[in-house]
Each structure stands twice: as C-alpha cells, then as structure tokens.
Structure 1
C-alpha cells in the first residue's frame, strides 16, 4: 500500500514558525516538496516556488533571508539540506540560451551556491 500525501498544505507553503521542530531542515525550490512525503517529526520542509540557486547569492533575496531567519529561530537544527538548482538548470539555461541568447554561467552559479551553503550558521557534526 502506498502512503497517501499529507493533507495539510501549511507545512509545504510556509516555514515552521515556532522555536522547536524538526532537526532536519529542507530548503529548496518546488522539487524539495517531495521530502514532505516523509512523515516524521524530525523533518521540516520549506519550499520556495520558482527559487533559483543563483538568487541565493543576492543579500536582498527573500528566500535567502527566510533561510537565515529560520536557522536563527531553530538553533537545535542538526542538518540543513539545500535543494536548489533545478530552476537554474531546467528553465533558466534554456530560456537564456534559446530565448534571450545570453550566456549563463552554470559553474559560477554552482560555486556561489556552494559558498552560500558553507556560510550557513549550523552546528558542526559530532565525530
């Protein structure tokens, strides 16, 4: 038997607002919502429609700001899983290449995305 999809949409559309919650925080574009099928109290999914990895570079990017606010409110988080980049690869690349004719720097996007991920204030893992 296949488990049914969650009935509450709040979990997928808005970040958790309380001081407690899952230890595993998933942030990403629409594809991250697949992790919402995992029904476990240690999993919180925060999806941002149409979000790009490139956008996380900008200090004023609302998704970046929301991720940082959430991490500040969630000091007990043990893991942060970022799932961005699908829009960059599956939409922006083709739009830029065939729509506008402008080049897109996927390597630069990946490098800045990794830099953003490395800058996140998460506790070090225990060894």
Structure 2
C-alpha cells in the first residue's frame, strides 16, 4: 500500500522529544493560547493572518477534533506550507506552551503568567514615576 505524502513526511521528519508528551486540550485555556498563536504567526509572517490563526486553533480545539489529545507531529506537517522554515520552531514553542498550560490550574502557560506579572510591575513603576513628576 502506498503511503500518503503526509505519512511519508511524518516518517522522514525528526521531531523534538517534547512531541511525545500528550496534551489534554480540555485543560488548556484556548482563548489565551489563541492570542499567543496570533502574535507568533504575526512575528513569523510579518503580517496578521486570522485564517491561519483559526486553522491552528481548530487543530487544537478539543470540541472540533475527534480527540482532546492533538497530534502535534501531524499539525506540524499540516502547517509546513504556511510557515515553511519556521514551522518546526513554531510547533515546538506551541507544544511547550500547551504542556505548561495543561499543568496550570487556570490552563494558562506559566511563561505567559510570568510575562503578564512583569508587564504589570513595569506599568506600576511607570505610573509611580509619572505621579511624582510635576504636571
């Protein structure tokens, strides 16, 4: 039996060890991840691409897939045509975020929580500096 192109690519491609870890997307806050995905795709493509963001989210969404455990290796193969050379880096970062998110009570990756805390601290510092300056 002949293998499909995707099956051949799956066999040929070397994936990072993180891809062997399952992620239960029911434990991941997909709304938060969608914002991160949108930002990453914009960084890679140098423009917004809502269609691609929706595609990635649909591939991860447990209500739109047959299983709540997406197969990141297959997702990487599906996204190759859109993200070309950046697909492996994007998928690795995406999967690391999903792994982190599933172990968080809020379903948010700890990296995003830490970044938000830092942003809030910086805003507080700037606000306190601004309040001390005479108007």
> Going by fraction, where is helix more abundant, 1 or 2?
2
Bigger relative contact order, structure 1 or 2 (CA pairs below 8 A, ≥6 apart): 2
Larger Cα-atom Rg: 2
